């Protein structure tokens, strides 16, 4: 089941205090970015964040689960209604993730 765009937009709205939150459709689901850095996925109308030590410290009760069959585990964020906690979690996760690698230019 693909995620609904309405759910994605609710998540983006909840995270507006974390930075510039954007999303991109990927294989029928969505990658979610903060300031250009991917930090999670939205699959089957559920929010999954990359596993980091900072994320674990911020929300120690998060469950780990794969966002889709064959994927590695991510944190499954079941309570997406608490914008303050969600924002703190995304900020902590974002800060621990490496900067994206620059894209290579295509040769002409």
Assigned domain for 20 exists: yes
CA 16/CA 107 separation, integer angstroms: 37
Query: Distance between CA 75 and CA 62 in Å, rounded?
Result: 6
Residue 74's Cβ-count burial label (10 Å; 0-12, 13-18, 19+) is: buried
Query: Does residue 105 lie within any of the structural domains?
Result: no
- Residue 82 included in any domain: yes
* Residue positions counted in the chain: 108
Note whether residue 19 is domain-resident. Answer: yes
Query: Does residue 100 lie in a domain region?
Result: no
What CATH number does the domain containing 73 carry?
3.30.1460.30
Q: C-alpha angle 91/97/100, rounded to 5°? A: 115
Look at residue 54 and tell me if it is in a domain: yes
pLDDT score at 13: 94
Q: Indicate whether 55 belongs to any domain.
A: yes
d(CA 70, CA 20): 30
CA gap 108, 106 in Å, rounded: 6
pLDDT digit of tens for each residue in the chain (108 aa)? 688 999 999 999 999 999 999 999 988 899 999 999 999 999 999 999 999 999 999 999 999 999 999 999 999 999 999 999 999 999 999 999 988 777 777 777
User: How many distinct structural domains can be found in the chain?
Assistant: 1
Per-residue model confidence (pLDDT) at position 1: 64
Q: Which structural domain range is residue 65 located in?
A: 5-95
What strands, in cross-sheet order, belong to the sheet with 46-49? 21-26, 29-34, 37-43, 46-49, 74-77, 63-65
User: What's the pLDDT score for residue 104?
Assistant: 79
């Amino acid at each position: 089941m693909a995620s609904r765009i309405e759910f994605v937009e609710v998540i983006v709205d909840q995270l507006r205090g974390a930075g510039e939150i954007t999303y991109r459709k990927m294989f029928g689901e969505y990658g979610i970015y903060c300031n250009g850095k991917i930090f999670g996925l939205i699959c089957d109308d559920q929010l999954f964040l990359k596993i980091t030590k900072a994320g674990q410290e911020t929300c120690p009760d998060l469950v780990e689960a794969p966002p889709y069959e064959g994927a590695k585990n991510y944190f499954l964020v079941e309570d997406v209604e608490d914008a303050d906690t969600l924002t703190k979690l995304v900020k902590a996760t974002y800060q621990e993730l490496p900067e994206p690698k620059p894209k290579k230019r295509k040769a002409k």
